[in-house]
Structure 1
């Protein structure tokens, strides 16, 4: 399998540096060479500041607070799941967001997103434009910067929006 295996990583996911868009690919030389050329012609190079930040995170390893942050994000995820247990959710194993299945609720992602913002004061991203086949049925809730106490209001806020 080694000659067919490519491992991908990013500081966005592994070091919670959301939006930094710095990652890596490790694999066989021939595949890696094609990845380099694809990257060269399709991706803008990240600014020096973000490259330096990514390097610092990689050098710090878990000294960067990864374990503590992972535990906190899990607490937040668990609270969202608890609050919205009556809804069809796509529950992640990790990360800082989850999906709510609007179609399964009998509405569209756009309508759910609008109702949540207007009546529940919840910003939820309708996933139209994030893929043609499956994504449009979902809204994404990002809980990265929300304290657990605020997330504990989600059942009430979804209720205010009619869900």
Structure 2
């Protein structure tokens, strides 16, 4: 039956596809491509974690878990957050195990946002942030950090954007795509503004284990901020468990319990076998993290030095596994640069513009690949720059 009616919601019809995936999909159709695009560890999940998951199946753990996740896992998460970042949560009430940190963000926004509420989103940022705010009924308000500050959020920038409708601030440290880490002194200044304007902070700390130069500080550990913070994290990055889709959120009991209601109706619980793998990861996985971190740090140093030698200015990121070099002097937009580089030299990078307006003039390159591949990629990029 023909009809002129559109069955798509306005939100769905206006939602743009992921800019990261567009380049990844294009690269997958070509041969001999070195991909520095998708942010995923090149390490395989540690074998003891895989084995624990197998063992759980053999033992018959194939049913649903508690909605909030296996209690033992939540207790281990609580212990981990206290031992690593000195933030104390109650396993029974303050933590939910989620399907990746992305679901944790979605739950958080749906639990706190009423239609029209504004969320300040610090850019450049992960491509899902603003769309997820919109899907929750909120209004994303971009805050553009600047390369001259190494993309660090400045408290006066928050002050300039706060209105009577502002409800939350969404931050990510270490940052995707810039790798910038907010140190304790930075967080203290941000906390003053947050407290003054009575804001909730959504703190994406998925890369918190992957810092290289200074110890990591969780925003929730800042004085007075635990009661205002929803800490979003997971196992994907540090434990090389991206495909397991397992994350968690920790925060004030009232907010967590509201999120749990939404979680009960939409997901019920995270994968049982993945949760058993995560239990093993937290019990016996710290050595694997240290070994991966050592390799990432070596790669970071190589890539940063290489870009600066080529003439693409690149600050040294303190965490995650991304660099964000400037391509402004080439005269190309970030999208044109990425497309030409892919076509001419078969190196896939992500244009900075997909991470927000402040990302234009930059490209994101993941160094979560082997040094051999990185070395060849830098040779190809150098050839491309020389032709330009």
Specify whether residues 103 and 94 from structure 1 end up closer, same or farther in structure 2 by C-alpha distance, changes over 3 A only. same
1:89 and 1:99 in contact (8 A); partners too: yes
The residue that corresponds to 2:274 in the other structure is 50
Q: Secondary structure at the match of 2:276?
A: helix
Q: Which whole-Å deviations, capped at 9, do the CAs of 1:43-65 have from their partners, x for residues lacking one?
A: 796544433333331222314x1
Tell me which residue corresponds to 2:384.
Answer: 161
**Residues 90 and 108 of structure 1: CA distance in aligned 2, closer, same or farther (over 3 Å):** farther
1:120 alignment partner, one of 336, 340, 345: 345
Q: Which has the larger radius of gyration?
A: 2
Q: Paired residue for 1:12?
A: 236
The structural deviation recorded for 1:122 is 1.1
Is the 1:119–1:160 contact (alpha carbons within 8 Å) kept by the matching residues of 2? no
Unaligned runs of 5+ in 1: none
Corresponding residue for residue 323 of structure 2:
98
Residue equivalent to 1:141: 365
Given candidates 70, 78, 81, the residue that maps to 2:293 is 70
| Separation in 1, partners of 2:315, 2:264 | 34
Q: Is the 8 A contact 2:235 2:278 kept in 1?
A: yes
Aligned residues of 1:6 and 1:25 also touching (Cα < 8 A): yes
SS at match of 1:12: coil
What's the RMSD between the two structures over aligned residues?
A: 2.9
Match of 1:23 among 238, 243, 247: 247
- Contact 2:327–2:362, Cα closer than 8 Å, also in 1: yes
Q: 1:29 & 1:136 partners in 2: Cα distance?
A: 39
Which residue is equivalent to 1:59?
283
SS, match of residue 275 in structure 2: helix
1:108 aligned partner: 333
The secondary structure found in structure 1 opposite 2:317 is coil
**Count of matched residue pairs:** 160
Report if aligned partners of 1:76, 1:143 keep a CA contact under 8 Å in 2: yes
2:259 paired with 1:35: yes
TM-score normalised to structure 1 length: 0.77
Structure with the higher helix share, 1 or 2 = 1
Deviation, 1:15, is 1.8
- The corresponding residue for 1:81 is 304
How many angstroms does 1:145 deviate by?
Answer: 2.3
* Residues 68-77 or 137-146, more deviating: 137-146
Aligned equivalents of 1:160, 1:102: Cα separation in 2? 14
The TM-score, its normalising length taken from structure 2, stands at 0.36
**Structure 2 residue runs without a partner (length 5+):** 1-223
Question: Matches of 1:114 and 1:6 in 2, distance apart?
Answer: 37
Higher relative CO (Cα under 8 Å, sequence separation at least 6) belongs to 2
